[in-house]
Structure 1
Amino acid sequence: MTAIYRSERGAGKVRQRYAELLTEWPVPAEHRRVPTREGETFVLVSGPEDAPPLVLLHGSGANTSMWRGDIGSWATHFRTYAVDIVGEPGASAPSRPPLASDRLALWLDDVLESLGLEDISIVAASLGGWVALDYAIRRPGRITRLALLCPGGIGAQTMGWLPKALFLRLFGHRGVRRTAAIVTGLDAPRYQAALDDVVLTFTEFKPRTERLPVFPDDALRTLAMPTLVIVGARDVMLDSAATAERVRRCVPQATVHVLPDVGHAILGQTDTVANFLLDEQ
């Protein structure tokens, strides 16, 4: 597990904070650990057993706890499966399958098979959005609805923020905190608790360094399911304008929202996502 952390002590701090956040999960939940070819995968299951299945995939440097503000709404209508992606700071195995391969799709095959799921809806963010898109392209017909928040793989990754981030790191904890605020866009006072968690994680965690492969137009055109894409116009990590333009051009049935004053971390979209998922249910 420490391979993805800077130290065993740091790994313990992140795991402890994750356990604390899971105690704030606002609805009853079942903790499952399912076997996959990439190692054990942690899944938090909520909602009525007979409700339609909804899989949640978090972003890079995050875990299932990111959905705790949304789950009270979504688990009313769906059987939700919040999955910790392998190789990220959650409770799944530290394996990091290469993105330029089919191994994450095969991993998700294993997760869904272990959970007994076939046709699913997905809500996913950032790296999780890339995983969801990769799966939807490779497994046409298995995803009934797709809601993506700041998804990777459509607009290019941008690196203009990196020189400033490297400079700010010279100023210790204050610099790291300022860097996190720039990267996430969580610079408003109401987001300070969330920013604290980001700072803790990225002080101790070693994120993936490989670039997210960008899906070609022909691959995006195969997406036939109802799709919702929400991006922040202030996103410094992904080209949100290009994401919106390519989705509108290649996935004409998609609904696209560009939030003008939002960065990479997209919060407060619970109702928008729920309304999309429930349309024609």
Structure 2
Amino acid sequence: MSVAIYRSEEGAAEVRQRYQEVLNDWPVPAEQVRVPTREGDTFVLVSGPPDAPPLVLLHGAGANASMWREDITTWAGHFRTYAVDIVGEPGLSAPSRPAVNSPAPARWLDDVVDGLGLTRVSMVAASFGGWLAVDYAVRRPDRVTRLALLCPGGLGKQRTIRVLRALLVRSFGRWGARRSVRALTGLNSPQDAPVLESLMLTFAHFKPRMEPLPLFSDAALRSLTIPVQVTVGDRDAMFDSRGTARRIRQCLPHAEVHMLPGTGHAVLGRTDSVLAFLRS
């Protein structure tokens, strides 16, 4: 379903211009590909050796492939990376939002994977992208070989009330927007300033998804026999990260689980940990 995902066309142009500046300064050689899908064209940033194992990257809601800028140099040295702009998010893919309580997201990913000429892939995915990756691995167990999940949705309960409270303060101008983004992401240190500013620009113009993500059943999680790494922050304002860790340990005793102290929803700087898992 195609929807209006920006508050104005001027705002959309400003977000796209900022994203294009990041793409123009991408730290490794990259091919920009548009894959036709049943949800519309999907933008994919492709890096790394053509003959290396394929690695699909799925960002979180309210983001795009620029999320992986600090990781890509390392990962693209070992994998053929496919940083996908999820449809309906502030990237360069179609403004379509397939219903999350349906097979539609997996069918969209089928089109992406097939359109890229891939058969079986590893995935690194964050937040909403993590939900998409788990959903795909559950529905298409023959297509996913390994999952590295950062603050994934669908495992621990979604903190809807906290999110709504944080969104309410956005109406208080720039101060409110900054406080809202900090509350939702947990980004508070000076080195987080560039990410914080980028998110503030995006959410000044972008209309985020508001529907809750379905929780995966224990049976669905237990069906995952592939290697899984899950990394969460113990101060996540959006998902019950302790519940996420508990369910993964119960349902997937073979999984690798990391609980990061003092960390919110934005789990950054995990480049080497994820690489070690992907290559293990």
Measure the CA separation in 2 of the matches of 1:100 and 1:256.
Answer: 26
Question: Counterparts of 1:1-281 in structure 2 under 5 Å?
Answer: 3-162=4-163, 164-166=165-167, 168-279=169-280
Measure the CA separation in 2 of the matches of 1:6 and 1:36.
Answer: 25
Mark the runs of 5 or more structure 2 residues left unpaired by the alignment: none
Query: Secondary structure in 2 aligned to 1:161?
Result: helix
Q: Which moved more, 1:67-76 or 1:17-26?
A: 17-26
Partner AA of 2:140 in structure 1: R
1:138-184 CA-partner distances (Å, limit 9, x unpaired): 00121111000000000010134246425533421111111101110
Partner AA of 2:116 in structure 1: L
The 1:88/1:163 distance shift into structure 2, 3 A limit, reads: closer
Mark the runs of 5 or more structure 1 residues left unpaired by the alignment: none
Partner AA of 1:278 in structure 2: R
Partner AA of 1:150 in structure 2: C
Q: How many residues of Structure 1 are paired with residues of Structure 2 in the alignment?
A: 279
Shift of 1:25: 1.4
Q: Is the 8 A contact 2:3 2:96 kept in 1?
A: no
Partner AA of 1:113 in structure 2: D
TM-score under structure 2 normalisation? Answer: 0.97
Query: Secondary structure in 1 aligned to 2:146?
Result: strand
CA RMSD of aligned residues (A): 1.2
Shift of 1:50: 0.5
Q: Is the 8 A contact 1:2 1:8 kept in 2?
A: no
Quick one: percent identity of the two aligned structures?
62
Shift of 1:12: 0.4
1:221-274 CA-partner distances (Å, limit 9, x unpaired): 000000000000010000000000000000111000000111000100000000
Q: Is the 8 A contact 1:56 1:80 kept in 2?
A: yes
Query: Secondary structure in 1 aligned to 2:76?
Result: helix
TM-score under structure 1 normalisation? Answer: 0.97
Query: Secondary structure in 1 aligned to 2:4?
Result: helix
Measure the CA separation in 2 of the matches of 1:104 and 1:150.
Answer: 19
